[in-house]
Amino acid sequence: MSSTGVDSFTNPHLIGPIYPGVGFEWLMVLIAFVLWLLWHVIQISGEEEEYSAAVKLYREVGMERAMHHATGAIATEEEVHISKS
């Protein structure tokens, strides 16, 4: 078992940091920042793929047919015209 070497708190102003990784805080912040940026890049890339697929679908079948059902299924022309009546 490791020890901090502190036996008494009679002189707290003489005690420095007693947590692991002292001096590497800048590295931890840098790692967190890089991970944060990486998450944004991955998120934007995924959303761009999803958006491109949706635009392609809308161009192929038309916006009205693609957006007709909340189930995700593409409506037929007949279903779109029946619902308008």
Q: What does the pLDDT look like over 41-69, one tens digit per residue?
A: 999 999 999 889 888 888 888 777 776 65
Its sign, for the CA torsion 74, 76, 79, 82, is positive
SS3 61: helix
| The two three-digit tokens of residue 28, written as one number | 């931890």
pLDDT of residue 68: 62
17, pLDDT greater than 90: no
* Residue 28 identity (one-letter amino acid): M
Rg of the chain on CA atoms, in Å:
29
Q: What pLDDT, in 10s, does the model give residues 26-41?
A: 999 999 999 999 999 9
Its pTM stands at 0.56
